[in-house]
Structure 1
């Protein structure tokens, strides 16, 4: 890998007999991309997570009988070697994350309401340590007829595991005690909002959530001692005048902490917000087309790029970030991939 290129992995909605996880390279000079190699043997690898050492990759198989996969990563070639696969005992796992200390893998099962924790053994294999199931419903009878955990991750202190449950309009806090998920707190979100993805500010003071069903972005103050969130602000995830589509998807913050981005699948856009460095509050700046259809996921790449995974146009599109304003400019480069739905950069 040359000095001006950076690897990233892309997960796709592909069958187990097709290549479903792709190692790709981003040219940091001009934003062009290329496929390095593909990995088959996993169906619907819709979310990926890379460990801090960059030598293990974890993936969910978003199928009716869900699974999680663990891979060893070859540091020279990026090739993946399957180490283990375990059932989630749930349906349609759509998110996977590692704990801050790298000791456990967490997974969220959208359709069945299950949340998993697995201990990572010395040989890289997985041992399930906890399985909980959410129950209940909320006001949207079509989309919130039951619990739908859509993401799971740890807070900056590594004390709590947070689950955004779209079906319950709740963010559920757990403590991970000896590998066991022990419920700590539930933060209620506006009825019908549908919390989907979440991101902490680099300072650890604030957190930001994107709500799929009412197309909004929430700003929270994070109380690490109490394990709680206080709502500070709610903004539209869509530009003024746009028809709501119950389809806001992903949210990320730039490494500098000054810019927040949110993707929308109804108008195929990414919105830019400026973050007040003293209050954490947001100011909407602009929305740009993702250059494709259905941006389910995107990534902010260290060094000044955003990569948007456009699921329904089979494309990943690169954008350069203006370091002063955070504005996105298309590079003119597109990578063809089959139904890409997750992008994970490798910082080498």
Structure 2
């Protein structure tokens, strides 16, 4: 599939197994126009996706009561998906999947199951039997959202020797040592009660890690000591404007650092915006700069692809695209939108 002037990406949705739930799409980097190229059936609620470093395999969680994680081979020409099988995550509502730096393991977090898993990867990208699982215990201060552990994301550090798990229910980032598919608890980073840690973004330099706290709509800035597997809190900053009167629907969601390392973006559900922060180059500290409405409702996920920012507006069934000003990082609506039922994850190819 020769598309020299387009960038391809996949979209995960909350769609049933019998419908096209993972969509292959194209983006024009010049105009921000997006198109659906084809869809894949056979998986229910693929709410989070990850593509390996060679672009040959896509992994997708199936967010349901008896969770599963799927592997798909990516056709090198058409980029269509072919199933390589699935494995039980042995936990409900898997919501995140990530890949080790050497591409030999994947990691999955189960939101309602309260656990995180490791799966070894075969040479063809298919998954072996789960090699380890860690189960969290406890609760937080918010009875409505923190009645139990809720691991919301899991990522390896740059070395692959440590795994970071954000537990929304416990207000912890838990750091595990990873060795040959086995996890052992290393450290526990405590957040202010009621924070609800959700997703992490690593600065391109590796010096800092940024955490989106869902429940109190903040970002926590960490100094990253990768050698020793430790995070030190440097700053907490709100993802909402100072004058904004936040309500119960306001929750922070996704977070990404720009490829240049100068800007941080966070999506706000409720206000339905993307917050822009400038990153101070010597300290990693954040300065709030702007809030751009996404043109839809509930921006659960977004991605920076082909020099554009694409926002997945879950509850209005559209993806909207924005140009990024290279000097300021400000987002400029392109006026383009793509109609997709319940888009909840955008993954570049």
TM-score range, shorter chain: over 0.9
Please state if 1:5 is matched with 2:21: no
| Post-superposition CA distance 1:113-132 (Å, at most 9, x none) | 01010000123221111111
Q: Give the deviation of 1:148 after TM superposition.
A: 0.2
Aligned to 2:344: 341
Aligned to 1:286: 290
Aligned to 2:135: 133
Aligned mates of 2:207, 2:213 — CA distance in 1: 20
Aligned to 2:275: 271
Does the CA-based 8 Å contact 2:49-2:347 persist in structure 1? yes
Could you say what secondary structure the match of 1:312 adopts? Answer: helix
Does the CA-based 8 Å contact 2:221-2:234 persist in structure 1? yes
Q: Give the deviation of 1:172 after TM superposition.
A: 0.5
Aligned mates of 2:160, 2:68 — CA distance in 1: 25
Question: Given the two structures, how large is their TM-score scaled by the length of structure 1?
Answer: 0.98
Question: Given the two structures, how large is their TM-score scaled by the length of structure 2?
Answer: 0.97
Aligned with residue 252 of structure 1, among 256, 260, 270: 256
Q: Give the deviation of 1:225 after TM superposition.
A: 2.3
Aligned mates of 1:116, 1:219 — CA distance in 2: 26
Aligned to 1:104: 105
Aligned mates of 1:261, 1:250 — CA distance in 2: 8
Does the CA-based 8 Å contact 2:167-2:173 persist in structure 1? yes
Aligned mates of 1:323, 1:3 — CA distance in 2: 23
Q: Give the deviation of 1:330 after TM superposition.
A: 0.5
Residue segments in structure 2 that go unaligned for 5+ positions in a row: none
Aligned with residue 329 of structure 2, among 323, 326, 329: 326
Computed over aligned residues only, the root mean square deviation of the Cα atoms, in angstroms, reads 0.9
| Post-superposition CA distance 1:319-339 (Å, at most 9, x none) | 001111111001000000000
Aligned with residue 307 of structure 2, among 300, 304, 320: 304
Aligned mates of 1:75, 1:126 — CA distance in 2: 20
Aligned mates of 1:89, 1:158 — CA distance in 2: 23
Q: Give the deviation of 1:84 after TM superposition.
A: 1.1
Aligned to 1:238: 240
Aligned mates of 1:239, 1:65 — CA distance in 2: 39
Please state if 1:144 is matched with 2:151: no
Aligned to 1:175: 177
Could you say what secondary structure the match of 1:273 adopts? Answer: strand
| Post-superposition CA distance 1:57-104 (Å, at most 9, x none) | 000000000000000000110100000101011000000110111010
Structure 1: 4+ residue segments shifted above 6 A: none
Aligned to 2:47: 46
Count of aligned positions: 345
Does the CA-based 8 Å contact 1:73-1:79 persist in structure 2? yes
Aligned to 1:124: 125
Aligned to 1:73: 74
Please state if 1:184 is matched with 2:209: no
Could you say what secondary structure the match of 1:126 adopts? Answer: coil
Does the CA-based 8 Å contact 2:161-2:179 persist in structure 1? no
Does the CA-based 8 Å contact 2:7-2:29 persist in structure 1? yes
Could you say what secondary structure the match of 2:270 adopts? Answer: coil
Aligned to 1:317: 320
| Post-superposition CA distance 1:180-239 (Å, at most 9, x none) | 111111111111100000011111111100100100011111112221111111111111
| Post-superposition CA distance 1:107-163 (Å, at most 9, x none) | 000001010100001232211111111110111111111100000001122221100
Aligned to 1:60: 61
Please state if 1:31 is matched with 2:32: yes
Aligned mates of 1:157, 1:233 — CA distance in 2: 25
Aligned mates of 1:215, 1:238 — CA distance in 2: 7
Does the CA-based 8 Å contact 2:250-2:271 persist in structure 1? no
Aligned mates of 1:34, 1:336 — CA distance in 2: 9
Could you say what secondary structure the match of 2:131 adopts? Answer: strand
